[in-house]
């Protein structure tokens, strides 16, 4: 993701330089392309981590702060059934097994988006990593044909791609 912004550098505690935009510190996953941060790139960044899952930070444009709500975590499908792994409903487990029958991938992941227990259960193949930022994102394997998830851009929900 490339965006155009204007930023100013401030001085943090202890004399260290802190990148800011209108006085707001830049998120740790923002990489400025020049000294004034007139454009930036978003890099994959894990915001939360548990025994089996990771929650991605997403794109926090300069001048904004991360959502106070922690991102949903995604989990490797390979760990389903392990002690301490979140329980899947019988329907979720059947859906996962049906997809695993056709998709043989070590990077298959699951997540629940939204508030449990009504959160949307999604399955996606994170071929480039759980928090990667891709132009199109990862296709939701148990969703509509044009439904995608970009955990490195917006870990809170899916979107419909045109077409």
Q: Report the distance separating Cα 3 and Cα 54, nearest Å.
A: 26
pLDDT of residue 99: 98
- Residues 152, 102, 86, CA angle at the centre, nearest 5°? 55
Per residue in 83-134, pLDDT tens?
999 999 999 999 999 999 999 999 999 999 987 667 899 999 999 999 998 7
What are the structural domain ranges in the chain?
Answer: 2-44, 74-160
What pLDDT was estimated at residue 21?
79
d(CA 29, CA 61): 10
DSSP one-letter code for 43: -
């Amino acid at each position: 993701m490339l965006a155009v912004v204007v930023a100013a550098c401030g001085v943090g505690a202890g004399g260290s330089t802190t990148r800011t935009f209108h006085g707001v510190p830049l998120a740790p996953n923002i990489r400025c392309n020049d000294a004034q941060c007139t454009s930036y790139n978003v890099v994959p960044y894990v915001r939360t981590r548990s025994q089996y899952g990771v929650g991605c930070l997403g794109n926090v444009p300069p001048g904004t702060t991360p959502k106070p709500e922690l991102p949903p975590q995604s989990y490797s499908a390979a760990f389903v059934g392990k002690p301490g792994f979140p329980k899947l409903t019988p329907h979720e487990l059947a859906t996962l097994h049906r997809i695993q029958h056709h998709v043989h991938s070590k990077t298959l992941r699951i997540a629940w988006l939204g508030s449990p227990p009504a959160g949307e259960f999604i399955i996606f193949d994170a071929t480039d990593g759980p928090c990667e930022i891709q132009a199109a994102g990862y296709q939701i394997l148990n969703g509509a044909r044009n439904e995608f998830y970009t955990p490195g851009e917006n870990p809170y929900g899916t979107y419909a791609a045109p077409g």
